[in-house]
Amino acid sequence: MRRIGGITCRAHTALFFGFIVGGMLGTPFSSAAAAVRSAPAGKAYSWSFQSDTLGQTPARSKAFGGVWQVSEDTTGTSPSTRILRQSEPDDGIAFHYLTFTRPLLEDLDASVRFRIRSGDINPSAGIMFQMDPKGTSGYLVRANAKTGELSFHYLLYGKRRDLKFAKIDPIEPGTWHMIAISRRKSVTQAFFDGNQVMMVRDDRFSKGNVGVWTEDDTLVDFADLAATAR
């Protein structure tokens, strides 16, 4: 972009008008303000990791604790040929999660398959949604193999808070399961292996990114992460 001193009078006028309008609307006049827009309703996204580099984190993602790598599934039991693996057994950090920087979603349907390989302290896996760009605030639905529960949480500035718990069928190590959510305005329905388990009403967050979650010494594989804007 050229310096202001190199802009023509007409451009000066347009720029001045833009600042006035931006101030009236409460939004700065800049390209960055409109750089990230919410996905249009009906737009579907999926993460198969086929174009990602093996041994690296997926493109357009941020890791918060743990070791996240795109891997080939060698067991032949995965729903996909490639998986996202969290392989740090214990680094002293309670929570390990990874969020994707695109797309930005408001109302949505989302799901992910997971396989808990091992974990003694609190073997868990979850799906995150409406996470902020910094990855510190948003929602989490988590399956806990130790307690046999599906739990709904919100994160606020990196602190996890509980909202609701519900019993689910036992989770055996090495078996694939699915968590899914459906979010409309302030109401979220949560599903485990195709069965609706709970409904939660909470309006703390209205848009954000999706991600996946593990904690403590849990080793987990994820596959077929998908989200659709509604």
pLDDT in tens, the chain (230 residues): 433 333 333 434 343 333 333 333 333 333 333 467 999 999 999 999 999 999 999 999 999 999 999 999 988 777 678 999 999 987 888 999 999 999 999 999 999 999 999 999 999 999 999 999 999 999 999 999 999 999 999 999 999 999 999 999 999 899 999 999 999 999 999 999 999 999 999 999 999 999 999 999 999 999 999 999 99
d(CA 10, CA 198): 58
- Token pair of 179 as six digits: 């968590």
d(CA 26, CA 28): 7
d(CA 4, CA 21): 19
CA Rg value for the chain? 20
User: For the chain, which domains are there?
Assistant: 1-35 (no CATH), 38-229 (2.60.120.560)
- Token pair of 4 as six digits: 């202001």
- Token pair of 40 as six digits: 């249009």
Cis peptide before 103, with omega less than 30 degrees from 0? Answer: yes
d(CA 228, CA 197): 20
The answer to whether the predicted template modeling score (pTM) of the entire model surpasses 0.85 is: no
